[in-house]
Amino acid sequence: MDKTTRLISGIFNREVRAIARAITEAENRTPEASVILKNVFPHTGHALILGITGAPGSGKSTLVDRLIEIYRKQGQLVAVLAIDPTSPFTGGAILGDRIRMQAHSLDPGTYIRSMATRGHLGGLSPATVDAAYILDAARFDVIIIETVGVGQDEVDIAKTADVTLVVLVPGMGDDIQTMKAGIMEIGDLFVINKADREGVLRMEQELHALLTLTTRSDGWEPKIIKTIALQNSGLAELYENINAYTAFLERSGQRKRRHAETMNQRLIDLLQEKLLAGVLNKTLQDGDLKRYVEQIIARERDPYSVVDEILKRIGL
């Protein structure tokens, strides 16, 4: 058996080292990752993918911690992918998450991994989706993806997850105003965490007013759940509402529809990634891009003809 084949069977046997190694390969976009994912993909589609997004410090990790407890009590296997926008090695938040989740990390029924974002481009890195497939194939029942809700990430998470929780805290009225437009389609459930703080009622009213402004195309009415994650309060209600939403997804046929959308997006993302890498590899030498940029700045050339010229070289 070669190395990659061993790694693949390690994933199916839920070996932590094999899983960790495979996710690293995916992050590095290696040829091995491609082999692993091709073998793993047919065994996916069983896990519940739970997205949780919100501002830094809103209590996402604390909520995740509580949710792990609930799912583990039901005998479910839980994996967490924590996406940190800063460096995964220097981010203080991640260190805090690690310490908090340490108790769980000793439990073989949970797997916790932090991952970097795509960097300046923002959004979920393609490796995050790959990691979710690897964990799904390892037969984790629930995969929780925690992302910081800044711009593109929260839109991406809604496209990837079966259920998306948007976490807010009292006193964030201005923030929901700016989220206004997309908020309904992004959040399936809205969590007002830190409900021990002042301004909960006002927050709830503002959010409720926003949610009643529009109706969702799937007919689901997003619920608002108040929690105090620190005191484990409201978590049972959150869990019940997650179940109510997944039941709705099945009943209404929306799960199938969303799955089709997700796969469509996945195909486009992969194609985009491979095409760009292919074009850059095949047609450009070191320094070419920089030279083009200089010519464009000097108005000797325009970006439109440069792109046409590059594509022509590969027959497009």
Ligand X SMILES: Nc1nc2c(ncn2[C@@H]2O[C@H](COP(=O)(O)OP(=O)(O)O)[C@@H](O)[C@H]2O)c(=O)[nH]1
Q: Is 58 in the site for ligand X (CB under 6 A)?
A: yes
Q: Is 61 in the site for ligand X (CB under 6 A)?
A: yes
- Number of residues binding to ligand X, judged by CB under 6 A: 17
CA distance readout (Å), 74 to 69, 71, 77, 273? 9, 5, 9, 39
The DSSP output letter for 149 is: -
- Which of 209, 230, 244, 311 touches ligand X (CB under 6 A)? 230
Rounded distance between C-alpha atoms, residue 86 and residue 216, angstroms: 33
Q: Name the one residue in this structure whose structure tokens are 């509580």.
A: 66
Smaller CB distance to Mg ion: residue 57 or 151? 57
* Minimum distance of ligand X from residue 54's CB (angstroms): 6
* Minimum distance of Mg ion from residue 159's CB (angstroms): 21
Rounded distance between C-alpha atoms, residue 279 and residue 314, angstroms: 7
Q: Is 164 in the site for ligand X (CB under 6 A)?
A: no
Q: Is 172 in the site for ligand X (CB under 6 A)?
A: no
Give the one entry of Mg ion, ligand X, none that residue 58 binds, where binding means its C-beta sits below a cut-off of 5 to 8 angstroms depending on kind.
ligand X
CA distance readout (Å), 121 to 26, 61, 152? 18, 24, 9
Could you tell me which of 233, 1, 19 has the C-alpha nearest to residue 113?
A: 19
Contact set for Mg ion, span 23-62 (CB under 5 A): 60-61
* Minimum distance of ligand X from residue 150's CB (angstroms): 12
Residues that bind Mg ion (CB under 5 A): 60-61
Residues that bind ligand X (CB under 6 A): 54, 56-62, 93, 96, 193-194, 196-197, 228-230
